[in-house]
Structure 1
Amino acid sequence: MDSNPNLNCNFVDLLQSQQDSGIGLESSPIPLFGTQATEDSNCEHDSPVQRKERRAWSQTDDEVLISSWLNTSKDAVVGNEQKSGAFWKRIADYFAASPKLAGLEKREPLHCKNRWHKINDLVCKFCGAYEAAARQKTLGQNENDILKQCLVQFFLSTPK
């Protein structure tokens, strides 16, 4: 039981008064849906973005990237007082300046960063396999035996 029976009428009146006022959107200079394409747009005639062929990372590329990362991250002058983008740009520049990669196309900083993270992930897995093999060391095993066992565990646990 409502204490005010006219309460619902007031809301209906409010809705009707807003509809009657009319804002006049059809005469507005701003389109109702500004992101929609019009009928005469040339979407199908736009030229596709030219993509370059991917260049696989070679073992030499990986070695130069690792060297670049080590030399850049151990730089005592700059240290760790740099943003991620500047850090990876320095690595990409160091990578591109390597005489081992003369004549090859430069790698972007993001490409170097992505490849480094893949390498780092594999190194961490290898370290874990080595620690597991070292814990299972039996009497009479030397470092070569541990390394062989480590490599077996690493290649079994790492998909190609």
Structure 2
Amino acid sequence: MASSSSFVNLLASQGSVDLDSLETPLFSTQSPQESSVKERRKWSVKEDLILIGAWLNTSKDSIVSNEQKGAAFWKRIVENYNSSPLLVGTVPRELGQCKQRWARINDLVCKFAGCYDMALREQRSGQNDNDVMKAALDIFYNDKGIKFNLEHAWRELRHDVKWCSTYMEKDKDKRKKS
């Protein structure tokens, strides 16, 4: 029979993980004393908007255009992001953090744009923009099983060609022909 001094409480050695968080936690195989992994920081709305601006500015740079490799592209985005005067006094984000956050924003905003298109197609007489938005949020929740919490990002990106509503474009074309 093992003595009580050889007992190791494995549950006490594990860090806690927020299961409701939409962000990926950082794990280390090192002990807490040896760990060089920085503490995970959540992204604020302000940080998201600065990252979106950095991505848009870098991707639409007419001088460099598409004559850059992925690593150079992301290096420019991170430099643009970290040099924002709105982030003075904060810890700079690293390339991997920015790239991972952008992937999350891009994925969810693209999915929400499809839900918004569907809500626009189903819009009935008398419904306003708020009704369409509520319907789009409901469609997203029913399809994906999570609440869409990046409305600020969608509002920033929705007029860009990549995320622009196809329904709105068709509607605009109809008005031009009239």
Give me the TM-score of the superposition, normalised by structure 1: 0.65
CA shift for structure 1 position 142: 3.1
Cross-structure match for 1:152: 138
Structure 1 contact 64–98 (Cα < 8 Å) conserved: yes
Cross-structure match for 1:141: 127
User: After TM superposition, what 4+ stretches of structure 1 lie above 6 angstroms from structure 2?
Assistant: none
The one of 105, 117, 122 aligned to 1:119: 105
Cross-structure match for 1:128: 114
Structure 1 contact 130–150 (Cα < 8 Å) conserved: yes
CA shift for structure 1 position 51: 1.7
Cross-structure match for 2:56: 70
* Secondary structure, counterpart of 2:66 in structure 1: coil
Distance 1:144 1:56 in 2: 28
Task: Give the gaps of 5 or more residues in structure 2.
Answer: 1-32, 148-178
Distance 1:155 1:64 in 2: 26
Amino acid at match of 1:78: V
Cross-structure match for 2:19: none
* Secondary structure, counterpart of 2:55 in structure 1: helix
CA shift for structure 1 position 107: 1.1
Amino acid at match of 2:116: Y
Give me the TM-score of the superposition, normalised by structure 2: 0.59
Q: How does 1:50-129 map to 2 (within 5 A)?
A: 50-129=36-115
CA shift for structure 1 position 155: 3.5
Distance 1:147 1:57 in 2: 24
The alignment of Structure 1 onto Structure 2 pairs a total of residues equal to 114
Cross-structure match for 2:173: none
Structure 1 contact 88–110 (Cα < 8 Å) conserved: no
Q: Which structure is larger by alpha-carbon Rg, 1 or 2?
A: 1
Distance 2:43 2:130 in 1: 29
What is the aligned-residue RMSD (CA, Å)? 1.7
Structure 1 contact 129–153 (Cα < 8 Å) conserved: yes
Amino acid at match of 1:66: I
Q: Say which structure, 1 or 2, has more relative contact order (CA 8 Å, 6+ apart).
A: 2
Task: Give the gaps of 5 or more residues in structure 1.
Answer: 1-46
CA shift for structure 1 position 138: 2.1
Structure 1 contact 88–113 (Cα < 8 Å) conserved: yes
CA shift for structure 1 position 143: 2.9
Q: For 1:77-129, what per-residue CA distance to the aligned partner results, in whole angstroms no more than 9, with x for missing partners?
A: 11111011110010000000001111111111121111001001111111111
In structure 2, do the counterparts of structure 1 residues 69 and 103 end up closer, same or farther at CA, with 3 Å as the change threshold? same
